[in-house]
Amino acid sequence: MDMERKDQFLLLRNKTSKLNDLVQETHKKVFERTDCLACGNCCKSAPPLVTSKDIKRIAHFLGLSPKSFKRKYVLQDVDGSFSFNHVPCHFLGHDNVCSIYEARPTACRSYPHTDDGDFLKRIHLHEINAKICPAVEEILTIMEQTIQNIKQ
Ligand code: SF4
Ligand code: SF4
């Protein structure tokens, strides 16, 4: 997304609720026709953040202790946050199936966050994600096309 498109969205700060409703609708429609199993780009290029709860849940799912799981799969950042230590993700199969799907991190469940309800607050994140996720790029393109109607 170029600056011009991002700036167009930011001009709509006084129409936030209408914009959020339209983005949610668009997100739903785009993901109904998106085949994530044919893509897998997010799992191949962006390590998800993992919380302590995620670590306990996934370790249990794999039959490991949280300590062993962390040692093997988790990296701690200087700010104290945790993420997986490898891209493509250790748990991504060749068929793009996630081998820990039922226990996957919360960040994986909510990716790419375009239906999180505060579209403008996350616009910089959407801009980055559009380069990884074709669905986000499509959502932003559709929103750009409908932006003129929101402005009125
Ligand atoms: S845990 Fe699963 S959904 Fe999350 S990045 Fe890894 S393969 Fe993808
Ligand atoms: S990058 Fe987007 S379209 Fe591709 S698998 Fe991830 S969420 Fe699905």
- Grade residue 152 by pLDDT with cuts at 50, 70 and 90: low
Which ligand 2 atom sits closest to the C-alpha of 112? 7
- What pTM was computed for the model? 0.89
Which ligand 2 atom sits closest to the C-alpha of 96? 5
> Which pair of tokens denotes residue 90?
């250790």
Mean pLDDT of 6-30: 86
CA atoms within 13 A on the CB side of 129: 20
What pLDDT shows up at residue 13? 76
pLDDT of residue 149 exceeding 70: yes
Ligand 2 binding pocket mutation candidate from 42, 92, 132 (most atoms within 8 A of CB): 42
How does pLDDT run across 90-143, given as a tens digit for each residue?
999 999 999 999 999 999 999 999 998 888 899 999 999 999 999 999 999 999
